[in-house]
Structure 1
Amino acid sequence: MTSDDSPRFTQYTSPEELPDGLVPALADCWTEVSDAGGAAGFPFPPVDPAEVAAAVDRIVTGLDPASSRLVVATVDGALAGWLCLRRDPHPLVAHWGTLHHVQTRLGVRGRGIGAGLVRRARVIAREEMGLEQLRLAARGGIGLEGFYGRLGWREIGRWPGALRLAADDDRDEILMVLTPL
Structure 2
Amino acid sequence: MPLTFTLDPAVTPELRDGLLDLWADVTNAGGAVGFVAPATREDIRPELVRSLARLAQGHSRLLVGHDDEGRVAATAFLTFNTHRLTGHWLWLYTVMVHPKHQGLGHGRDLLAAAAESARGIDGIDAIRLGCRSGLGLERFYTSCGYREVGRVPDAIRVAPDEYRDDVTMLLTLR
Alpha-carbon distance change, 128 to 66 in structure 1, aligned in 2, over 3 angstroms = farther
Q: After TM superposition, where is structure 1 displaced by more than 6 Å over at least 4 residues in a row?
A: none
Shift of 1:66: 5.1
Question: Where do 1:9-158 residues align within 5 Å?
Answer: 9-12=5-8, 17-42=10-35, 44-63=36-55, 67-76=59-68, 77-158=70-151
Q: Which residue of 1 aligns with 2:4?
A: 8
Partner Cα distance (2:137, 2:155) in 1: 16
Percent of aligned pairs with the same amino acid: 36
Pairwise CA RMSD of aligned residues? Answer: 1.7
Partner Cα distance (1:66, 1:18) in 2: 13
**Contact 2:2 2:106 (8 Å CA) reproduced:** no
* TM, length-normalised to structure 2: 0.92
Shift of 1:35: 1.4
Residue 170 of structure 1 pairs with residue 170 of structure 2: no
Where do 5+ consecutive residues of structure 1 fail to align?
none
Where do 5+ consecutive residues of structure 2 fail to align?
none
Q: How many residues align?
A: 173
Alpha-carbon distance change, 65 to 111 in structure 1, aligned in 2, over 3 angstroms = farther
Q: Which residue of 1 aligns with 2:154?
A: 161
